[in-house]
Structure formats: structure tokens, C-alpha cells
Amino acid sequence: MASHIVGYPRMGPKRELKFALESFWDKKSSAEDLEKVAADLRAAIWKQMASAGIKYIPSNTFAYYDQVLNTTAMLGAVPPRYGWTGGEIGFDTYFSMGRGNASVPAMEMTKWFDTNYHFIVPELGPDMKFTYASHKAVNEYKEAKALGVDTVPVLVGPVTYLLLSKPANGVDPSFDLLTLLPKVIAVYKEVVEDLKAAGASWIQFDEPTLVLDLEPHKLHAFTAAYSDLASTLSGLNVLVETYFADIPADAYKTLTSLPGVTAFGVDLVRGGKTLDLIKGGFPSGKYLFAGVVDGRNIWANDLTASLIILNGLEDVVGKDKLVVSTSCSLLHTAVDLVNETKLDNEIKSWLAFAAQKVVEVNALANALAGQKDEAFFSSNSAALASRKSSPRVTNEGVQKAAAALKGCDHRRATNVSTRLDAQQKKLNLPVLPTTTIGSFPQTPELRRVRREYKATKISEEEYVTAIKEEIRKVVELQEQLDIDVLVHGEPERNDMVEYFGEQLSGFAFTVNGWVQSYGSRCVKPPIIYGDVSRPKQMTVFWSSTAQSMTKRPMKGMLTGPVTILNWSFVRNDQPRSETCYQIALAIKDEVEDLEKAGITVIQIDEAALREGLPLRKAAQAQYLDWAVHSFRITNVGVQDTTQIHTHMCYSHFNDIIHSIIDMDADVITIENSRSDEKLLRVFRDGVKYGAGIGPGVYDIHSPRIPPTEEIADRMNKMLAVLETNILWVNPDCGLKTRKYTEVNPALTNMVAATKLIRNQLASGK
């Protein structure tokens, strides 16, 4: 029985690629140095999977930024502003598209389906000339082959690539990107021919958009694409891989009828309904790559349950046509549990990171082949039983409190207009108030202080003194810049979710459980294993300390319950909504303590609310109902004069704007600049928004410093669709990933642009 892995983490077990990328970007190392680190990581991954017994090992899943940007490079689909003149696309052009440069901004970045991974959105139009401009796929195949590993090259499918793209600036927004399919397919044919010539016998096309609710003409595009490719694919085994949700019945019919396709990959973890479709009919002679091992969470697989599913599928598909696989790429999990030397042994026994999931996949394949490892299965069953019966998982008081929330709407007593009037009387802010999103640059010295405190190399007193000094510097800088509503810069936090999880019950933490978010950006999601509560205050001391340093309003900074949920590895033994309500109650306690301490502006970030939206429309209303409700629970008890902010970034918000309004925040700051100000279209289309709103005026994920005139122009576009009295001015997101040499001039220009517009408004221009 064969086994398959959809994809694998790229950063390395200890973020080796992250550090290599940042060294290269800082001009401290060469391109050759970066390529050497990447090659060593790829070699280790391929050898690991081969030694574990995996038959179908992926290649070309490695990326220096993301796989969609890799595809853009492969197709030569470079926007003209980057000055690419042809030839093989190198690092300069590649990273300029992803990060921007001193002259031009980066391309838009958004979430990869409903994950916390991001991709760079292709910008296309009728005049785009596609050309085979990156030979990465065939080069990596050859690289693996030279190591003695025959791999399955993986490509983002041509239809998914186009469906994830957008019309470039200046192109009619109604332009049908699927009309570009013949031009795109022409390049794919060249790539396939290259791979065949290099000796590839299998090729994998990732087409995850097949799990979406697609109109008939979009489904037809898949048939057209693979019909066009069929003659070129002749002689190859072709796998079309889907993931992240169940496949709609009409899409399943399209998928299983694609010409020239040998195998179909499905997610049977998040796509339970797909199992029914398969049992109802599967094409004879085709392979099924059954994704029964969860690629998005870190809980050990229920091997016995998975084996039952696989045995049932054997009767439908045939023993020789069933392949055991992961539900999706393991990119979304941590790398290896072996590196977790400090994790509680009991909890550790409940987990499986990417390396362990590879072993699980092969164990299931061997069991199907009649070579079941009884000891491994027995150990797995014992771990599952331990987790189910552990007293540390359940807190009856927390469960009762969460259950009592049902049936209540949890809204503040007065409407937002009345509250804003009360808040203005207290805060006395100028028109177009300026603020930042929360974090300031995390310097090497600051990271050293936190690291030494965790290692008990410095005392708590020394740590507190150092953090207070950092806060003082950040406060003074903001006052010098003349920012209106200040933040303390979050110097005590390495990560916005991890920080809160460390102080809440029901969470566990890793040392090296890093997961790539985009480029070199990595996060270390906490593990929610049990019921959640707040044993003590989490932020009050630091917020009060910062407020004592200034007369200007100081924001209390919290992460909202939905974002904590979506950016964690969440327990899978109860509904996510139940866990979210528990977190909401914990944050509610903190909000009320901040208010008692004199903090009059409190920001509750919900950066990931849109990210968690189910991919299928039928499930979206239920999610939005409990997600928005959870946010309202956190601040239902505060006074009218306490101003509640929230923040959202790097997702498509227009389709949930009414749910955003229903959150009933006083002010929302929201990403806008990198996405070509798509957010503003909602207001141009007539949506009325009465609360304060701060669409980001510049992109913080790029090192580029926006000029004052550019920011002022962006603000004027906002004022064309938003009332002056509700508009706030702020960057797109937090500043922790930037350097002070970038932040200081960018914020200087932001404040200067604001004063320029204020003067224009005052003079009636």
C-alpha cells in the first residue's frame, strides 16, 4: 500500500530558512549562502520522507516566499513596475514582488484560503505576456533525483492560479481572468515537457479552489484546462490535489471526469461529505489519495478510526488504487516533536508534528498492506485514551459559564453614535486622529532581554526595568512624532497570541513549534488542550505603566478571542465555538480590569476573524454569528466613555462588512493600502458605516517608506467615501517586523500628511 505527503514545512526545524532570508535581505550574506541553506533543508526533508517509507514524495513545494509567487515567477507574470526585462527571474525581481523595494510597493498579500498562511496575489490583465521564466520545478526535481530520491513535482494548478489572481491596476475590474487560460496553459505545457524529459513519472497539480462554491463556467475551466493539457501529460501519472474542505457534488463530478488525470487527492479530515460522494461512485481504474492524516493541526491521528475509513475505501477504489495521504500540506503544522524538550510529557504524547505525521501516514499504509505495527497502534490508542480522561482538560466552572452565554445578545447598552460623542468629550481628539496598531520594532536588544529572562539569566526586577525603559522610549518617540493616541509598543511580547496563551489556563507551549506565515515571518501557535480561563491580570500592569508616562490616551492592547482561537492549534474534542466563548470570557475580565485601571482606549484585535470564515457559503452564517458574538462578549460591560478599538488585516473583508459592523466596535483599524484600497469600494457602493474607521494608509510589510504626498492622496480617497468625523489615520498593521530606520520616517510622513489634510479641511479646500 502506497503513501503520500501533499507538502512539507519549509522553514526548517529551528527556522534556518528564516534567518538565512533575513541575513540575505540585510546584505549580510550572499545569494549562494541563501541557496545553500535552502538546498540543505530540501535534502533533509526528502531523505527523511524516503527513510520513513513514503512512496510519493513531493518536490517544488519549497518557496522563499510562497508557492503562488513561485508560480507567478514560473509564468513570467511580472507587473511592469518591477522593471523585469526577461530571462530567468532572480531574487531581485522575486523579492521585489513579495516585499517591495525602495522605488515601488509590493504586490497585494492575502490569506491562503482559511489559514494563517499568506500568498502574493498575481496581478493580471489581457496584455500580460506569459513566458517560462523560472525553472525551479524541474531544477528541484533533478536536485532530489541526484540524491537518489524520485519525487512528485508539485505545481499550483492553472485554474486555481487564475481564480486566486486579480485584475491589475488599470484593468477593468470585471475582466474575466479565466480568458487567460490558453496563454497560461502554454507555459504549463513547457514545464510539463521539461519534467518529463528529466524523468518525472508523476506530477501533482494543486487545485484547492475546487472545494469552493464555484459557478458552472469556473468548473468548466477545469475541464478546458486539463483537456488542453491532456496530450502533453500523456505518459505521466497526474494527481489533482484538493484540500481544506469537502468537495461540492458538482465539483466532484468535474474533478473525477478530468481528462488525462490519473489520481484525485481529497481532504477527508475537513471534507467528511466527500467520503459519501466517493462511496456513491468513483471512476474505475483511478487512484484515490485519501487525506486521513490532518495537515492543519497537531493532534495525534486516531489510527484505528482512520484505518476503518481506509478499509471502507478499499472496497470502493480497489486495494491497489488507494494511497494514504495527508489532508493537505504539512506546511501548516510545526516541524518535529523531537525538538520539544520542555513540553509536558503527557501533553506531548497527544501530539504529532509534521515528522510524526509522516510516520502516521506510513503506519496506516503498512497496516492496509497487512503489516500493521501493533505496538505503534496500541501506543496511539493509549495516548488518545489518556487525553480523553485527563482531568486537566476539563474545568466544570468554565464550561458552565460559557454555556450560560447562550441566548443573550451581549450588546453595549447605547448605540455607537452616542458612545462616540461621550468618548470625544473625554478624549478631546483632533479631527483625523492618528494612532498605530500596537507593536513597535522588536530590536535584537529587546529580544535578548526577553530571552535571558526566560532562561532566568536576569532577575524579574532587571527584566521589568528593561521593559519599562523600552516603553518609555516608545512613548517619547510617539509624542515627538505628535501621534494622538499612543501604544506602549508591546516590548514584553514576542507574539500577540502566544503572550496571552502563556497567561491563560488550558494552553500549552512549544520551544520550536514554528509555522511559516509568509516569507521569513514565522509564528509559534499555542496549543489549546483544555478549558480556558484567566487566572490573573495579563496586561494591566504594562498598560498602566505606559499611561503614567504620558497625558495622551494610551491604548490597552489585547488579542481578541476569535484571533486567539484561529491562530492556535485548537482542541478537536469540542466545537470551536465553545472554546471561543471560553476565551471571550477571559478577555472580558481583562477588559474590565483595564477600564478600572484608568485605560480609556482598549484595542481588542481580531486580525483573524475573516480568516476563519468557512470556505463553503452554507457554513459561513453560523461561524460569523458565534465569532461576532464572542467579540461583543469581551466589551459588553464597559462604560460609554471607554473607547473599544479592533483591528483586522490581510484578508478580503468586503463580503463580511455587515458582520464587521455588527461587532459594534467604536473604532476599527483595517488593512487597506496593500490591497489596492479594495475596502473603500464597499463604501462607494453605499454601505453606511457610523463608527470610527482607520483604513491603513501604508503597508508595513514592506521596507519601503511612503512619501507624504502618497499618504495624503490615499487619505483624500478615503474622505471621498467616509465622513471626516469618523476617519482615523494609521498604518496597515503592527510595526514589530520593521526597523526604527524605516518606522521613524514612515510615521513622520504619516503625521505630516494628516496635518496637511487637516489644514486643507480647515481652509475649506
Catalytic residues: 701
Element at 291 (helix H, strand E):
strand 287-293
Q: Please, what's the b/e burial string for 521-540 (b: 16 or more CB within 10 A of its CB; e: otherwise)?
A: ebbbbbbbbbbbbbeeebbb
- Residue 580 assigned as binding residue: no
- Residue 203 assigned as binding residue: no
- Residue 635 assigned as binding residue: no
- Residue 312 assigned as binding residue: no
| Bridge partner list, 604 | 558
- CA triple 219-108-328, angle to 5 deg: 50
- Residue 246 assigned as binding residue: no
Q: For residues 183, 184, 186 and 192, what is the CA-based torsion angle, rounded to 10 degrees?
A: 180
- Residue 18 assigned as binding residue: yes
- Residue 336 assigned as binding residue: no
d(CA 483, CA 473): 14
d(CA 673, CA 325): 39
The alpha helices in 303-395, defined as continuous H runs, are 303-317, 345-348, 354-368, 374-389
Backbone angles phi, psi at 73, to 5 degrees: -65, -45
DSSP string, 111-157: ESTTSS-EEEPPEE-TT--------HHHHHHHHHHHTT--EEEEEE-
Task: Spell out the SS3 assignment of 312-323.
Answer: HHHHHHCHHHEE
Extended strands (E) in 158-253: 166-167, 202-206, 237-241
- Residue 733 assigned as binding residue: yes
159 neighbors 222 (Cβ within 8 angstroms):
yes
d(CA 553, CA 154): 52
- Residue 522 assigned as binding residue: yes
How many CB atoms are located within 10 Å of the residue 467 CB?
A: 21
Half-sphere exposure of 235 (CA within 13 A, CB side): 9
- CA triple 717-720-726, angle to 5 deg: 100
d(CA 700, CA 743): 9
Per-residue cell: 57 = 514524495
d(CA 332, CA 298): 9
- Residue 654 assigned as binding residue: no
Length of the chain: 765
The alpha helices in 619-739, defined as continuous H runs, are 620-635, 657-662, 679-684, 708-719
The alpha helices in 522-602, defined as continuous H runs, are 540-547, 561-566, 576-596
Which residues, other chains included, contact 511 with Cβ-Cβ below 8 Å and sequence gap of 6+?
339, 340, 341, 342, 343
Looking up cell 513622520 gives: 748
- Residue 408 assigned as binding residue: no
- Residue 438 assigned as binding residue: yes
Per-residue cell: 733 = 498593521
Q: How do beta strands 601-605 and 555-559 pair? A: parallel
Annotated binding residues for Zn(2+), as ranges? 647, 649, 658, 662, 671, 733
Annotated binding residues for 5-methyltetrahydropteroyltri-L-glutamate, as ranges? 18, 116, 521-522, 567
Annotated binding residues, as ranges? 18, 116, 437-439, 490, 521-522, 567, 605, 647, 649, 658, 662, 671, 733
